[in-house]
Amino acid sequence: MLKKIPTTAVPLSIFEILKGFKSFFGNKSYIEEFEYSFARYMGSSHAFSFNCCTASIYVFLKAIKKLSNRQEVVIPAYTVPTLVLPIRKAGLKPVLCESSLDNFTMDFECLPDVINDNTLCVLPIYHFGFPYEIDLPLKLASEKEFFILEDTAQAPGAMLDGKKVGTLGDAGCFSLCRGKNFSTFSGGMLVTNSDELANFVREERNLLPRQKFSFEITSPFILTLYSLVTRPIIYGSFYKLISPFKHTTVHESFESKQYSNFQAIIGLSLLNRLDEFNGIRLKKGMALYEALKDNEHIILPRVTKNSTPVFNHLPVVFKEIKTMERVQAELWDRGIDTGRMYLKPVHHLYDLGYDKQKELFPKALYIAERLITIPSHPYLDNKSIEIIINVFKRL
């Protein structure tokens, strides 16, 4: 089958890429315009751009270190493992909190047992674009005087009780890297309503090196390839050439740089279409969710009351690993790719000092071993949605 639905895609047009060439003429900083527009979209006072979301986390942690001598940063045991890197690079200690089978991210009921007088920051993470209440960590942060950084990498534009997630804590970080709801192939954003934090973040961000001119020159070609290879007919036809470029290894390091002017122009264009993209994702994601939610072989994340998820993917946890493998193989044969995301909990990939003889985070391990992601992006057509539903019906 030539046509295959990729795990993720952003409908980035060649016309939008061509707009980026404006950055090569004149001295205008489109970065500042993009940051201003992003802040307005989020309802925040300040927004700062970076070359990746990891860099935004690193800079935020460096900034809050100036306000506290605490050393521990709490993250879920099941999450993107590279979160360990900015924490360590900032000279801090990653601490894990058990994950929840209710939402596949941090189990807040376990949080009071994890935080202490050395807790500097807690990172609630909206995995797969699903918002959920963070009232408890906010309450604990107020009582114990630590910071809340919302990791909204996969959930730009998601709503909770009429507010955009990423604006509920001290700051929120977002990813513009490939695989996200709106992507300039690489990039990250940080928003905050705190003038004090904004001053520290700005100071740290401005110390970062700028992107090299060679990066600006190659960006149009990279973005053009990215735009093409996520289209189903090209993805299927050239999968053997594309698959080696998928991330399959654990990162050992990252670079922190400023965002590029070329990408900022693309970002401005895509930001104007983000609500459109999210609306499509919500419609397709909820069609799948409603059809699969009563299947006894799987677990889906809870959709929080008064929330609007943006379905970066639809995550599905299988009760049996063999069933998961069978579904993945059948969907692939029917022209739909799926992802495995984080194959192990964080402490299985990095040595964080936890006892290796006893599994301290069994729910995180359960999720990691059994979760696949199903596409919900705009290139997912109605026929493919039908195929997915029918494959699960036959379980």
Catalytic residues: 180
Indicate the DSSP class of residue 119.
E
DSSP state at residue 192: E
Dihedral sign for Cα 284, 5, 189, 141, please: positive
The whole-angstrom separation of Cα 98 and Cα 106 is: 6
Strand order across the beta sheet in which 298-299 lies: 298-299, 314-318, 371-374
Q: Measure the CA–CA gap between 261 and 337, rounded to whole angstroms.
A: 33
DSSP SS3 for 360:
coil
Round to whole Å and give the CA distance between 146 and 143: 8
Contacts of 376 (CB under 8 A, 6+ apart): 281, 284, 285, 288, 311, 312, 313, 314
Task: Say if CB 366 and CB 101 are below 8 A apart.
Answer: yes
- Rounded to an integer, what distance in angstroms lies between the CA atom of residue 73 and that of residue 14? 41
333: which 2 tokens? 């044969």
Residue 43: alpha-carbon gap to chain centroid: 20
The one-letter amino acid code at 311 reads F
Q: What CA–CA distances, in Å, run from 131 to 83, 220, 310?
A: 19, 33, 9
Q: What is the DSSP code string of 162-176?
A: TEETTSSSSEEEEE-
Cα dihedral sign, 42-161-63-197? positive
125 forms beta bridges with: 151
